[in-house]
Amino acid sequence: MYDLKELSLKFSRHLECECVAMQMLSEDWTKVAMLLADRNIELHAQYGKHYKTRIPAYGRDMMFVEEIAELVACGMGSDAFRINLEQGRFYAPIETGLPGINTCTAANQHRLLAFGGECGNVECFDPRTRNCVAKIDVAAIANNESYGAAEGAEV
């Protein structure tokens, strides 16, 4: 990572596998989590690799929910795996109704967790109860004449 303001190299990381997703855990560059293609999540600090853990399925995306200090990784399969970084342990996964999860994010206003899936649906969950509070069929809306999306669209 280069700092263009000072025209200098801030830090360099070398990984054993392709990085699928990267999530900043702090306001600056000192703490970062990387989801790797070999089902591992590496946590890096300013000095380098701090910890490495393996998730049960191949990941496609991850998010950090700062208020509860949870890293949520999702991908192949219907489960979203939760790692509490404060306690250093896995929590029970969030079980969605999606066949595979392509993307995930948390809303800034109310902290609902949203998961976009292979079947073209978006499911929203409350992290306190792990229950689905809303489900939107985006593919059905996008397949009408005005949008012209292809059949079998994914989120």
pTM, entire model: 0.86
The Cα–Cα gap between 109 and 124 comes to 14
The Cα–Cα gap between 99 and 129 comes to 21
The Cα–Cα gap between 128 and 113 comes to 10
Runs of H (alpha helix) within 37-155: 138-142
Q: Which domains does the chain have, with CATH numbers?
A: 2-142 (2.130.10.10)
For 37-41, which contacts have Cβ atoms below 8 Å and span 24 or more sequence positions? 41/71, 41/73, 41/83
pLDDT tens digits for range 104-114? 999 988 889 99
Position 144 scores a pLDDT of: 66
The Cα–Cα gap between 94 and 107 comes to 17
- Which DSSP string corresponds to 74-107? EEBBSEEEEEETTTTEEEEEEE-S-SBEEEEEE-
pLDDT tens digits for range 23-53? 999 998 889 999 999 999 999 998 889 999 9
In which band, very low, low, confident or very high, does the pLDDT at 154 lie, cut at 50, 70 and 90?
Answer: confident
